[in-house]
Amino acid sequence: MIVNDNIDTCRHFPAPPWPSGRLPIAYLLAAIALIGCQRSPELAEFSGSYPDRASPNGTTREFQVVAAASKVPLFDGRPFEVWAYNEQVPGPAFRVRLGETIRVTFTNKLPQPTTIHWHGVRVPNAMDGVPGVTQPPIQPGETFVYEFTPKDAGTFWFHPHLRSSEQVERGLFGALIVEDEEPPPYSRDELWVIDDWLLTREGTLYEEFNTRHDLAHDGRWGNLITVNGQRTPRLMVRPGERVRLRLLNVANGRVFAPDLSALDAKVIAVDGLYAARPLSPAGFELAPGNRLDLDIRVPSDADGQRFTIFDRFTRQVIPLAEITVSGEPVTTPQFESPARAHVPAWKRPEEATPLRATFRLNARSGGPFGIQWTINDEVMDHATHALPHHRQHLPIGEFSRLRFTNESYRLHPMHIHGMFFKVLARNGVAVDEPHFRDTALIHSKESVDIGTVPTDVGKWMLHCHILEHAESGMMTVVEVN
Ligand code: C2O
Ligand code: CU
């Protein structure tokens, strides 16, 4: 049950009974507040989308995470030098139920400082893992405890937020799967962590990061694509099964466009949250940071068949993974698709919902890497953690319309921490995506309008999820209060 009646502009209102001595003043203040307390149509429509606070059920799930240099059998099984969480690449996939509290005791055994950011999870600001903004960097040898209760069920992930173009590329990423209080009875629930690696001729990781080439393009694109650390792995299923398949793109820069047309597959969730209805996967782009949850029905007469899922983002068609059907058919679980969330339409035009802010995306020469990526002509300085001068303010519990204007020819998957948003328009033309996101791909020279209702106070990062772009400056802060 989703309720968020307490998200509205009127909630800061003192509740009666008024303190007796101050009665007349309290009434006067209340009356003044009431005049300015008209819920906007956007806010009224938003009501019921997702809760503004967590509902802890009293259970705490404890996890230990250690980041360290390791050797893991990857790709062809030969030991490969990585940096890993708990000696695994991909890192652990933690599964919890909605309502449970997560306590992660994290120890940094890397040769450099780090933090953990919980991508897409609406956490208290102090748990967001942004060095110099929400916490000091976690130095080598230090331990930090992350603790929070997720407010939303869905597919989320975690990764470092310090030197992330190097740390994520070396293998530091894991998944956080928050199951519904009563998960729909899928035959199986699988996760595909999609990544690419830039390898040398000798098959080791290419250890120059943030190169001029990466910066001048769409970040670091690898020459080997893996799913769950393997090249074109095979998922074995039985005829008749109904599979929930969670796709997660952890690549530094590469965008995937998974071709699922060979399958009976529907998108049920985007960036964690359920969509308003099951959607065709055609046309979905999986940019760095994005997740897609699929509802796949394996035909009951498909014994012996193989379905290959290809990436078609570039002209080179690349096989990602395979689904192989074999065995005795099972009865297909019948249940209504979980994709029936309340998603506001937010259809009023720009005149009625004026922009609160515009973020212009561009590049210039300079900085430690020779090229800097800018937001409104400013860069985030990661060496000093100095926050950009012009911090955008977003009022909590109110609707804001924001615009990304890509003045460059490169791709920018723009991500905002601590909130979900909905794409409202592309190049001035209204679009109706029946789902929220936390990362939206802004194409070359494109302008994209989004709408959001922030639910949590704090300093939240807004940045490009092409990690080289973020590292060279394309990051800013929005302040919600
Ligand atoms: Cu996936 Cu600022 O993060
Ligand atoms: Cu970018």
User: What is the 117 CA–ligand 1 centroid distance (Å)?
Assistant: 7
pLDDT of residue 37: 55
User: CB 463: neighbour CB atoms within 10 A?
Assistant: 28
463 touches ligand 1 (CB under 6 Å): yes
Q: Which atom of ligand 1 is nearest to the CA of 475?
A: 2
Does residue 3 carry a pLDDT above 90?
no
- Spatial CA neighbour of 441 closest among 284, 234, 239: 284
pLDDT of residue 59: 98
Does residue 9 carry a pLDDT above 70?
no
Q: Which ligand is nearest to the CA of 156?
A: 1
pLDDT of residue 20: 41
What six digits make up the tokens of 299?
Answer: 């035909």
Mean pLDDT of 311-316: 96
Contacts of 118 (CB under 8 A, 6+ apart): 127, 128, 129, 146, 148, 156, 158, 176
Q: Model confidence over 135-188: pLDDT tens digits?
A: 999 999 999 999 999 999 999 999 999 999 999 999 999 999 999 999 999 999
pLDDT of residue 38: 67
User: What is the 191 CA–ligand 2 centroid distance (Å)?
Assistant: 26
User: What is the 473 CA–ligand 2 centroid distance (Å)?
Assistant: 10
Does residue 24 carry a pLDDT above 60?
no
Does residue 350 carry a pLDDT above 50?
yes
Integer CA distances (angstroms), 7 to 10, 45, 46, 254, in order: 8, 11, 9, 37
461 touches ligand 1 (CB under 6 Å): yes
Q: Which atom of ligand 1 is nearest to the CA of 439?
A: 1
User: What is the 273 CA–ligand 1 centroid distance (Å)?
Assistant: 17
122 touches ligand 1 (CB under 6 Å): no
Does residue 393 carry a pLDDT above 80?
yes
CB 218 within 8 A of CB 137: no
pLDDT of residue 161: 98
Mean pLDDT of 430-448: 97
For ligand 1, atom 1, name the residue with the nearest CA.
Answer: 119
Q: Which atom of ligand 1 is nearest to the CA of 288?
A: 1
What six digits make up the tokens of 215?
Answer: 């910066």
Q: Parallel, antiparallel, or unpaired: how do β-strands 355-365 and 400-406 relate?
A: parallel
Looking at per-residue pLDDT, the higher value among 107 and 20 belongs to 107
Mean pLDDT of 266-289: 98
For residues 262 and 437, what is the distance between their CA atoms, to the nearest angstrom? Answer: 26
Integer CA distances (angstroms), 169 to 206, 290, 393, 474, in order: 10, 16, 32, 18
Exposed/middle/buried for 111, CB within 10 Å: 0-12, 13-18, 19+?
exposed
Q: What is the largest CA-CA distance in the chain?
A: 80
CA angle 141, 142, 148 (to 5 degrees): 140
Q: Tokens 């720009």 sit at which residue?
A: 350
Query: Which strands sit side by side in the sheet containing 143-148, from one edge to the other?
Result: 78-85, 60-74, 101-109, 143-148
For residues 215 and 394, what is the distance between their CA atoms, to the nearest angstrom? Answer: 30
CB 191 within 8 A of CB 175: yes
- Spatial CA neighbour of 86 closest among 104, 111, 61: 104
User: What is the 435 CA–ligand 2 centroid distance (Å)?
Assistant: 23
What six digits make up the tokens of 131?
Answer: 């060095």
pLDDT of residue 29: 47
435 touches ligand 1 (CB under 6 Å): no
For residues 34 and 29, what is the distance between their CA atoms, to the nearest angstrom? Answer: 9
What's the chain's Rg over C-alpha atoms?
Answer: 23
Give the range among 44-48, 203-207, 302-306, 381-385 with minimum mean pLDDT. 381-385
pLDDT of residue 6: 41
Mean pLDDT of 35-60: 89
291 touches ligand 1 (CB under 6 Å): no
Predicted TM-score of the model (pTM): 0.93
Does residue 378 carry a pLDDT above 50?
yes
91: three-class secondary structure by DSSP? coil
119 touches ligand 1 (CB under 6 Å): yes
Average pLDDT, the chain: 92
pLDDT of residue 5: 40
For residues 395 and 478, what is the distance between their CA atoms, to the nearest angstrom? Answer: 10
Does residue 191 carry a pLDDT above 80?
yes
Mean pLDDT of 23-41: 56
Q: Which ligand is nearest to the CA of 466?
A: 2
For ligand 1, atom 3, name the residue with the nearest CA.
Answer: 119
User: What is the 248 CA–ligand 1 centroid distance (Å)?
Assistant: 13
- Spatial CA neighbour of 175 closest among 290, 237, 90, 255: 90
Protein residues placing their CB within 5 Å of the ion ligand 2: 412, 464, 466, 469
Instruction: Please give, one letter per residue, the 3-state secondary structure of 357-423.
Output: EEEEEEEEECCCCCEEEEECCECCECCCCECCCCCEEECCCCCEEEEEEECCCCCEEEEECCCCEEE
pLDDT of residue 207: 96
46: three-class secondary structure by DSSP? helix
How large a percentage of the chain has pLDDT more than 90? 88
469 touches ligand 1 (CB under 6 Å): no
Does residue 61 carry a pLDDT above 90?
yes
Q: Which ligand is nearest to the CA of 134?
A: 1
Task: Please provide the size of the chain in residues.
Answer: 481
What b-and-e string marks burial along 162-175, b requiring 16 or more CB atoms within 10 Å of the CB? bbbbbbbbbbbbbb
